[in-house]
Amino acid sequence: KQEVTQIPAALSVPEGENLVLNCSFTDSAIYNLQWFRQDPGKGLTSLLLIQSSQREQTSGRLNASLDKSSGRSTLYIAASQPGDSATYLCAVETSGSRLTFGEGTQLTVNP
Amino acid sequence: EAGVTQSPTHLIKTRGQQVTLRCSPISGHTSVYWYQQALGLGLQFLLWYDEGEERNRGNFPPRFSGRQFPNYSSELNVNALELEDSALYLCASSLEAGATSTDTQYFGPGTRLTVL
């Protein structure tokens, strides 16, 4: 059974800092890994999708890496802003188009 | 282009009742997914529909069921509601599904169900 773990569970940083969120998964037989953002009480917004054959993806201030063999991914956020405050979720897609999510990292960026 | 829409946004029911949640995918998307986000349990995969057929199911009892219509919209039905069914129910859609998919799942805003 696939399990996804995210560390840390919560993170509070001052504005402007660079930060790294971590995600690990137990079964390397994945099709892709995705990072999502969820604002309180809202749905999910897709940030980055990394196919299993890829090593990283970048979008603006965000960079996600994938090491499938070790079952790890990181999300790097550069020059954090208060608007980045949200819960960040990591999810892996396995057979049957099933997404398995981590518990998330709650990020607070203080002005 | 309109995103994934869900209705209703909020719902309050009592134990034992039945509920139907609705989802309209992004135009052109044929796959619809349902997830449950209960407090303390994280996001759990419920169901996947593609081209009108149920393709995969998460670890939920049979009282959770659904269907997908010819226009690719979908309903999630929950019978005999229990207190622990209180959760945010999220619907997602994608252009294609399976091992060759390069398309992410796009999520709707969710339906908040409270069971009293």
Task: Please report which confidence band the pLDDT of residue B114 belongs to, taking 50, 70 and 90 as the band edges.
Answer: very high
Distance CA A25, CA A94 (A): 11
Tell me which chain B residues have a C-beta less than 8 angstroms from the C-beta of A97.
31, 33, 48, 50, 55-56, 94, 97-98, 101
Distance CA A5, CA A12 (A): 19
Tens-digit pLDDT string for chain A (111 aa): 899 999 999 999 999 999 999 999 999 999 899 999 999 878 899 999 999 999 999 999 999 999 999 999 999 999 999 999 999 999 998 877 788 999 999 999 999
pLDDT score, position B99: 45
Which of A50, A99, A101 is best to mutate for the B interface (most B CBs within 10 A)? A99
State how beta strands A32-38 and B10-13 pair: unpaired
Residue B102's closest chain A neighbor by CA?
Answer: A51
- Total Cβ atoms within 10 A of residue A69: 7
The tokens for B113 are: 């169900």
The tokens for B49 are: 């529909």
Question: Is the pLDDT score of B79 beyond 70?
Answer: yes
pLDDT tens-digit map of B81-113: 999 999 999 999 988 655 445 567 889 999 999
